[in-house]
């Protein structure tokens, strides 16, 4: 039985274009083709997942989401200052570095500022604090496999 609408546990294929309020394009599926995700498992930003709920193949939406429906507000507590010596390499503005958290998880941090011996690292998502504007089209719907349901994701999942 084929899935007829976007709902929990359905694999949804979408084509989209993501821009910021100033018109800057952040991401698009134009060159790589539609992206699939497992609906209802938090695999998209909250606002977009809610907006797609109930849509059928061919549905097209133009929607905007404030930070709290996207990647959240920019959190100053996720900024950390270290010294050049703590990094173990010469820092370059805009470089993303990986750090191991006490619980063993890996955290990606952006080198946001370099001022003499001080280096500011930003652990916020790069789109935190930004309004996100999507043009999105539902290209496909299918039932999820048992493996996808167990993993709560599909292979061609967004980062």
Same domain, 132 and 68: yes
Q: Are 38 and 153 in contact (CB under 8 A)?
A: yes
Structural domain harbouring 48: 10-72+128-144
Same domain, 44 and 93: no
Same domain, 113 and 132: no
pLDDT at 3: 75
Tens of pLDDT, residue by residue over 38-48, are: 999 999 999 99
Mean pLDDT of the chain: 93
pTM above 0.85, yes or no: no
Quote the CA–CA distance of 64 and 21 in Å, as a whole number: 9
Q: Answer whether residue 159 is part of any domain.
A: no
Same domain, 84 and 68: no
Tens of pLDDT, residue by residue over 110-155, are: 999 999 999 999 999 999 999 999 999 999 999 999 999 999 999 7
Quote the CA–CA distance of 1 and 39 in Å, as a whole number: 17
The CATH number of the domain holding residue 55 is 3.10.50.40
Same domain, 139 and 62: yes
Same domain, 20 and 95: no
Q: Answer whether residue 25 is part of any domain.
A: yes
Same domain, 138 and 115: no
Tens of pLDDT, residue by residue over 69-106, are: 999 999 999 999 999 999 889 999 999 999 888 898 99
Q: Are 99 and 118 in contact (CB under 8 A)?
A: no
The CATH number of the domain holding residue 107 is 2.40.10.330
3-state secondary structure (DSSP) of residue 87:
helix
- What total of structural domains would you count in the chain? 2
């Amino acid at each position: 039985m084929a899935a007829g609408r976007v709902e929990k546990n359905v694999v949804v294929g979408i084509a989209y274009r993501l821009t910021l309020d100033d018109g800057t394009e952040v991401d698009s599926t134009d060159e790589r083709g539609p992206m699939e995700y497992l609906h209802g498992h938090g695999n998209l930003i909250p606002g977009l997942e809610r907006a797609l709920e109930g849509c059928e193949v061919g549905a097209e939406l133009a929607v905007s989401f404030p930070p709290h429906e996207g990647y959240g507000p920019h959190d100053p507590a996720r900024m950390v200052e270290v010294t050049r010596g703590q990094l173990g390499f010469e820092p370059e503005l805009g470089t993303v570095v990986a750090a191991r958290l006490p619980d063993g998880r890996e955290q990606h941090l952006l080198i946001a500022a370099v001022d003499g011996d001080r280096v500011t690292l930003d652990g916020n998502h790069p789109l935190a604090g930004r309004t996100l504007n999507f043009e999105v089209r539902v290209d496909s719907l299918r039932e999820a496999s048992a493996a996808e349901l167990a993993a709560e994701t599909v292979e061609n999942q967004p980062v």
